[in-house]
Amino acid sequence: MALERLGADFEHYRVVEFDKYAIASYNAIHGTDFPTMDITEIKGEDLGIVDTDRFTYLLTYSFPCTDLSVAGKQEGMAKGSGTRSGLLWEVERLLKETKELPQVLVMENVPQVHGEKFKADFLKWLDFLTDLGYTNFHEDLNARYYGVPQNRDRTIMVSLLGNYKFKMPKPIPLYPTMNNLLEDEVDDRYFLNSEKANKLIEELLQGGKLDNLPDKHIHIPPDVVKLLSAYQNEYNEAISVGCDLSVNCP
């Protein structure tokens, strides 16, 4: 999308993604027809990087944040660990197997990728890219400073093949905001619905515990506000009795 906005003459050349829903979304957005591909089953030659004296190849890559994120078990991304985040090293393998290297690499992941706990592995990755001839620039950027109404920090790294200088883009004023994006009418199928949640909502309503919700100050359907409040109360109740919400609670 960024290349389109810049008016660049480019081609969606290859996509390596094994999730059929993710690739279907990509194809729908970009008007492409890529099949699913498993990164562990392809070779460097499958990337089709040729004639780099005539074409510039921009390879974007990420890897599951599941084992890095504070929301997960933080099992890490060490080489040979077998973790989902360890799929980073499949990118290493592919770059080693290619006869010609892409001139530009762009990586995205959660900030924990270079945090103290996983810093050693991140430095190993930087060393590998440097040995290939890349100059690397990484920085934590928040989506809300780049036109997306979401408070989302992500580490972005740009690697340029050769000795170059690069600066990350400067923040821009936020537009639109969530107020511009939320819909007034939403189909019922997009709302959570369960017997337990409905029971909690009814109890909270009867107990007057939802009276002070700021639904007059935010543009979120009242039913959604009630449901979120219900889940918050359920969470607080579960914590008070030492219950894990991922299993059946009393």
d(CA 180, CA 215): 16
Residue 137: which residues within 8 A CB-CB, separation 6 or more? 157, 158, 159, 160, 166, 167, 168
CA distance readout (Å), 61 to 16, 26, 156, 221, 222: 9, 15, 10, 37, 40
Enumerate the active-site residues.
65
d(CA 246, CA 250): 12
